[in-house]
Structure 1
Amino acid sequence: MTTIITTEFWLRDLGSDLMQPMSCKVVPNEHCLHFYPSEPVLASQDQDSLPEPTLTVSLQAKFMELLCALAAAAPEVVSRDQLILQIWDGNQYVGEKALTNAIWHLRQQLAELTPANDAIATVRKRGYRLALDVVRPPVSDTVPEMPTVMVTKLAWLRPWHIRGLVVVLVSWLAWTCYHLWGDYQQLATPTLTTLTHDPGSERFPEVSHDHRWLVYGAYQPGKSANLYLKSLTDEEASVRRLTSDSSREYRAIWSIDDSSIYYASRSLHQCWFTRFILATGETEQILPCSSTNSALSISPDGRRLAIISSLDNSEVSGIYLVDLDDENFNYQRLSCEQDCGYRDRDMAFSPDGTRLAIARRFSNISEDIIVYDLATQTEQRLTNGLEDIQGVSWHPDGRRVVYSQEKSGQTQAYVLDSDSGDIHSLGIEQISYPKFIPESTELVFANYLRRYNVSAIKLDNDYVYAPFPVFHQQHNTRDAHYSPQNHRLVYISNQTGYYEIWTSDLDGSHPLQHTDLKRRVAYPRWSEDGQQVSFLAQDDQGSGNRIYLLNIRSGRISMVSSVYRDHSRPFWSTDGKTLYASTEDNLVAFDLDTQTPPTRIGIDLHHGMFSGDTLYFTRGDKPGLWRWQFVGEPQLAVADSIFDEDYNWVVSGNDLWFRDRQSDYQQINHYDLQQQQLTPLIRLEPSSLSSFGSFSVDTHNKRLFVTEAGVPQRDIIKLTHPAL
Structure 2
Amino acid sequence: MKPNRAFNLSNCYVNPTEFSIQLDQGEKQSLQPKFIDVLCYLAQHHPRIIPREELINNIWGENSVVGDKSLTNAIWHLRKSLAEIDQGNGVIETIRKAGYRLVIEPQWSTNVTTTAHSNITVSDDTLQNDPQLKREAEQETDGLLAKTLQYRINKQTITWVVLAAFIAVVIGYFLGKPSHDPAVVTQVTKHPGSELFPSPSPDGRYVVYSQVSNNQPTNLFMKDTLQPQLPAQQLTFDTAIERHSVWSNDGQYLYFARTAKAGENCKYIQLKVLSRQEKAIANCPNRVGYFYLDISPDDKTLAIHGFNGDAEKSGIYFLDLTKENAPLERFSCKKGCDYKDRDMAFSPDGKHLAISRRFNRYSENIYLINIKTKETQQLTFNEEDIVGITWSDQSKIIYATHKAGVRSGFIIDVDKNTFTELNLPGFSYPKFTKQGRKLFYQQRQEISSIASLSLKADIASSPFPVVLSSFSHHSPDYSPINKRFVYVSNESGFYELWSANTRGEERKQLTFLKKNISLPKWSHDGKSIAFLASSEDNKHENIYIYSLVTQKISVLNSPFDRHNRPSWSLDDNKIIAAVYNNNATDLYSITIADGAVERLTHDNARYGIMNSPTTLLYAKVKRGLWQVDLTDKTTPPVQIIDGKEFTGLYAWDYYNNGVYFNKELKEHHILMFHDTVSGKSRPLVKLPLNSFYRRDIINYVPDEDSLLYTKSSYPQANIKMLENSPLLQ
Confirm or deny a common fold (TM above 0.5).
yes
Say whether residues 1:701 and 2:704 are aligned partners: yes
Look up the equivalent residue of 2:627 and give its one-letter code: R
Change (3 A) 1:297 1:658: farther
Q: Residue by residue, what CA displacement relative to the aligned partner does 1:20-70 show, whole Å, maximum 9, x if unpaired?
A: xxxxxxxxxxxxxxxxxxxxxxxxxxxxxxxxxxxxxxxxxxxxxxxxxxx
Distance 1:344 1:625, change over 3 A: farther
Q: Is the 8 A contact 2:700 2:708 kept in 1?
A: yes
Q: Partners of 2:671 and 2:326 in 1: how far apart? A: 43
TM-score (norm 1): 0.69
Contact 2:204 2:436 in 1 (8 A): no
- 1:279 lines up with 2:283 in the alignment: no
| Cα distance in 1 between the residues matched to 2:243 and 2:661 | 27
**Paired residue type of 2:411:** V
Determine the C-alpha separation between the residues in 1 that align with 2:357 and 2:171. Answer: 43
Shift of the alpha carbon at 1:302? 1.3
Displacement of 1:548: 1.6
State the AA in 2 paired with 1:702.
D
Is residue 723 of structure 2 the alignment partner of residue 722 of structure 1?
Answer: no
Return the match for 1:488 from 480, 484, 489: 484
**For residue 354 of structure 1, what is the aligned residue in structure 2?**
351
Question: Which one is further off, 213-222 or 260-269?
Answer: 260-269
What is the rounded CA distance, in whole Å, between the counterparts of 2:616 and 2:422 in structure 1?
47
Distance 1:310 1:643, change over 3 A: farther
Query: Could you tell me which of 226, 229, 232 is aligned with 1:233?
Result: 226
1:453 aligns with 2:456: no
**Is this contact kept in 1: 2:390–2:398, CA < 8 A?**
yes
Q: Paired residue for 1:669, among 649, 653, 672? A: 672
Q: Distance in 2 between matches of 1:393 and 1:428?
A: 16
1:250-286 CA-partner distances (Å, limit 9, x unpaired): 2221123322212222346333322222233332223
Q: 1:311 aligns with which of 300, 308, 313?
A: 308
- Going from structure 1 to structure 2, the CA distance change for 1:535 and 1:259 (only over 3 Å counts) comes to same
Cα pair 1:307 1:321 within 8 Å, conserved = yes
Point out the more displaced range, 485-494 or 263-272: 263-272
Q: Are the equivalent residues in 2 in contact too, given 1:370–1:381 (CA < 8 A)? A: yes
More divergent stretch after superposition (300-309 vs 675-684): 675-684
Q: Which amino acid aligns with 2:727?
A: A
> What residue identity is the alignment partner of 1:709?
S
Of residues 509, 512, 515 in structure 2, which corresponds to 1:516? 512
In structure 2, the partner of 1:606 is 606
Structure 1 residues 294 and 495: CA distance shift in structure 2, 3 A? same
Q: CA deviation at 1:491?
A: 0.2
Give the partner amino acid of 1:722: P
Partner of residue 652, structure 1: 655
- Describe how 1:376-525 pairs up with structure 2 within 5 A: 376-397=373-394, 399-418=395-414, 422-439=418-435, 441-460=437-456, 465-525=461-521
State the one-letter code of the partner of 1:434. Answer: P
Counterpart in 2 of 1:248?
241
Q: Tell me, yes or no, if the aligned pair for 1:207 and 1:438 is still in contact at 8 Å.
A: no
Equivalent position to 2:297, from 300, 303, 322: 300
Inter-CA distance 344–555: structure 2 relative to 1 (3 Å threshold): same
Contact 1:344–1:361 at 8 Å: present in 2 too?
Answer: yes
Alignment-derived partner of residue 143 in structure 2 = none
CA contact (8 A) 2:203 2:435 kept: no
The answer to whether the Cα contact below 8 Å between 2:480 and 2:701 also exists between their aligned partners in 1 is: yes
> Following TM superposition, by how much is the alpha carbon of 1:211 offset from its aligned partner in structure 2, in angstroms?
2.3
State the alpha-carbon separation in 2 of the partners of residues 634 and 672 from structure 1: 18
Q: Does 1:214 align with 2:196?
A: no
Distance apart, 1:577 and its partner CA? 0.9
Secondary structure of the residue that 2:410 maps to in structure 1?
A: strand
Contact 2:254 2:273 (C-alpha < 8 Å) held by counterparts: yes
Q: Give, in angstroms, the shift of residue 503 of structure 1.
A: 0.4
TM-score by length of 2: 0.69
Structure 2 residue identity aligned to 1:627: Q
State the shift of 1:208 in Å: 0.5
Distance 2:682 2:172 in 1: 71
Aligned letter for 1:606? R
- Sequence identity, in percent? 29
User: Residue 615 of structure 1 aligns with which residue?
Assistant: 616
3-state secondary structure, aligned to 2:720: strand
CA contact (8 A) 1:248 1:292 kept: no
Contact persistence 2:399–2:411 (CA under 8 A): yes
Match in the other structure for 2:592: 592
Alpha-carbon distance in 1 for matches of 2:450, 2:335: 37
Mapped partners of 1:559, 1:495: distance in 2:
24
> 1:438 & 1:557 partners in 2: Cα distance?
50
Whether the 8 Å contact between 2:558 and 2:595 is mirrored in structure 1 is: no
Deviation at 1:444, TM superposition (A): 0.6
Instruction: Give how far 1:530 is off.
Output: 0.4
SS at 2:255 equivalent: strand
Contact 1:624 1:644 in 2 (8 A): yes
Question: How much does 1:606 deviate?
Answer: 2.1
For the Cα contact (< 8 Å) 1:464–1:681, is it kept in 2?
no
Query: For the Cα contact (< 8 Å) 2:361–2:384, is it kept in 1?
Result: no
Shift of 1:501: 0.6
Q: Which runs of 5+ in 2 are unaligned?
A: 1-168
Return the alpha-carbon distance in structure 1 between the equivalents of residues 601 and 171 of structure 2: 66
Equivalent positions of 1:8-407 (< 5 A) are 183=177, 190-244=183-237, 246-267=239-260, 269=262, 270-285=265-280, 286-288=282-284, 290=286, 293-312=290-309, 316-337=313-334, 340-397=337-394, 399-407=395-403
3-state SS in 2 of match to 1:256 = coil
* Structure 1 contact 318–334 (Cα < 8 Å) conserved: yes
Q: Which of 529, 535, 538 is the equivalent residue of 2:531?
A: 535
Partner of 1:549: 545
Cα distance change, pair 445–485 in 1 and its aligned pair in 2 (3 A): same
For 1:672 and 1:254, the matched residues in 2 are separated by 54
Deviation >6 Å, runs of 4+: 175-181, 186-189
Q: 1:482 to 1:420 in 2, by over 3 A?
A: farther
- Whether contact under 8 Å (1:395, 1:402) holds in the other structure is yes
State the one-letter code of the partner of 2:720.
I
CA contact (8 A) 1:310 1:316 kept: yes
Judged with a 3 Å threshold, the aligned counterparts in structure 2 of structure 1 residues 423 and 672 are, in CA distance, closer, same or farther, namely farther
Q: Which amino acid aligns with 1:207?
A: P
Distance 1:552 1:539 in 2: 22
Alignment root-mean-square deviation, CA: 3.0
Cα drift, residue 514 of structure 1: 0.8
Task: Give yes or no for contact 2:699–2:709 (8 Å, CA) kept in 1.
Answer: yes
The 8 Å contact of residues 220 and 242 in structure 2, kept in 1 or not, is answered as: yes
Counterparts of 2:637 and 2:291, CA distance in 1: 33
Residue identity in the other structure for 2:590 = F
CA contact (8 A) 1:288 1:309 kept: yes
Q: CA deviation at 1:694?
A: 1.9
- Measure the CA separation in 2 of the matches of 1:682 and 1:280: 49
